[in-house]
Amino acid sequence: MYLRLISLIFILTLVGCAKSVYTDYDQQYDYSDIQSYKIVSPAGSNPTSLDDGRVKQAVKKELTAMGLIETGSEPNVNVRYFIEPKTENVAYGSSVRFGYGSRRFGVGYETPTRYEERSYGQLVVEMVNTTSNQVIWRAVSKRKLTDRMTPASKNAFIQEQIKEMFEEFPPTTTEPEY
């Protein structure tokens, strides 16, 4: 009993430590040169959605907290963000199976499982070098932004994900290569 409890606590701790964002970056770029930024509007975002405004405010808040300055002219990097539309198929409903078999003969029946296609958004933030127009840093949320969320929960979700995206920025290039 004691061993099971310890195992359960260990598993829950591991699950709680899992990161909900993925980051990728250019290891050759000198991130110490970044002093200013400009937020670039997402492509095709006219009119701006409520979620776009939430993301923009969260990005500004995090970059300002890191000491970066927003500028309209000659920034070191452009910051762009978008909510990538995704879909998934979700099975629901009960399934009944039964059958009868005898030696080499058998009969079976199964009721069909129902599927529903659900849409969600995946939050993506990128930093683009203004001179080369190349992406130098990218963060992608592994969690789902859905239309079923309330405005308060969407705002909290976006704030949390953006904060986690920028936790390890600027990236350190001392990671071991595999």
Go through the domains of the chain in sequence order and give each one's CATH number.
19-87+120-165 (3.30.160.670)
Phi, psi of 92, rounded to the nearest 5 degrees: -145, 170
> pTM of the full predicted structure?
0.73
Which residue in the block uniquely carries the two structure tokens 């963060």? 139
Cβ-in-10-Å burial (0-12, 13-18, 19+) of 170 comes to middle
3-state helix, strand, coil in the chain (%, to 5): 30, 35, 35
Asked if residue 117 lies in contact with residue 111, where contact means CB atoms within 8 angstroms, the answer is no
Asked if residue 37 lies in contact with residue 126, where contact means CB atoms within 8 angstroms, the answer is no
pLDDT tens readout for residues 133-150: 999 999 999 988 888 889
pLDDT tens readout for residues 78-118: 999 988 888 888 877 666 666 666 776 666 666 667 788 88
